[in-house]
Amino acid sequence: MAGKIAVIGSGSWGTAASGLLSPHADEVRIWAHSPRVADSINSDHRNPRQLKDYVLPGNVSASHDFAQVLDGAESMVLATPSSFLRGICEELAPSVPKDLPIVVLTKGIEPKTHLLMADVAADVLGEPERVAALSGPNHAEEISRGMLSAAVVAGSREDVVSYFQQAFVSQAFRVYRSDDLVGVEVCAAVKNVVAIACGVSAGLGLGDNALAVLMTRGLAEISRIANAMGGRPLTCMGLAGMGDLVATCTSRHSRNRTFGEAYAKGTTLEEYESATGMVVEGARAALSTWELAHERGIESPLTDAVHAILYEGRKLDDVIGLLLDRDPHVEFYGLDGVE
């Protein structure tokens, strides 16, 4: 049993994660950007914007004030959109003790710096060894209903990893440990890009075989990027890789998959995010992953394709044609020990 755990972010995942943490803590305090959301959580135990039907446990409360949320906290969970993570960490910094364990739920790669999300948090808050990341096939809608799921928590310090494993684990939410922080975070970020491609494929009615091809070739692409960044390709076969990829590319809960479907039918990114009130992380990851891959010379055809339609104004038919014109390679090229 922990004392107080601070959760930074009141989106769907931050809300569901707070429920997971509540049996293991005396108090879970959520930081909400909106005072109205914080007031609703405190008065009705519900988030009025995300997971509206989910009744939060009684030991979960919220505040709009960083200092109040972090006062007396034993650990901190970061669950903000990737594009806001650095700025929020900068605001948090004066209130975060140097020895406070941190776990990052945010998935992405920062544009220009190409830092993974745990690296962004460590860059601002210091003490990188105390920063871990948790990832896996974790749709908040199902977790809030107590449905079976699993995740992997990764970091360089065994005590930090074990702490967060115990903080999240339950009979319905299985948590495994890893020391491959880079591999887990690359999987978490790039699978969202692949999910957009899968959504576009589904939206165009290209069939189940095409979906399977995109997922498996997407997994190979993720493995090449992870390998080039110092992660282990085998991590991509685990919960953060294959597990999350399957869920994100096939589920109706996946905003990246459903955005891809909507895009294929003429909906823009701005229209989709405005209508749903949710951030499509894969659209941001497509930009930063494309930058990273080109900087390091990593072959990434699916990332190139998603970048082309979102940021280069390319037509879907042209991009599909470019993918189909590629000569097939040896299946696992670009990985250690594979020619």
For the annotated catalytic residues, the residue numbers are 191
Length of the chain: 339
- Strand order of the β-sheet with 60-63 is 60-63, 25-31, 2-8, 75-78, 102-104, 131-135, 149-154, 173-178
Q: Burial level of 10, CB count in 10 A (0-12/13-18/19+)?
A: buried
Express each pLDDT in 307-325 by its tens digit. Answer: 999 999 999 989 988 888 7
pTM of the full structure: 0.93
Report the pLDDT value the prediction gives residue 339, as an integer from 0 to 100: 46
CB 151 within 8 A of CB 135: yes
Who contacts 299 (Cβ-Cβ below 8 Å, separation ≥6)?
221, 224, 293, 333, 334
Q: Is 182-324 a CATH 3.30.460.80 domain?
A: no
Report the pLDDT value the prediction gives residue 282, as an integer from 0 to 100: 94
Express each pLDDT in 43-87 by its tens digit. Answer: 999 999 999 999 999 999 999 999 999 999 999 999 999 999 999
Q: Which homologous superfamily does the CATH classification assign to the domain defined by 2-180?
A: NAD(P)-binding Rossmann-like Domain (3.40.50.720)
Domains in the chain: boundaries: 2-180, 182-324
Fold equal for 2-180 and 182-324: no
Express each pLDDT in 269-307 by its tens digit. Answer: 999 999 998 889 999 999 999 999 999 999 999 999 999
Q: For residue 336, what pLDDT band results from cuts at 50, 70 and 90?
A: low
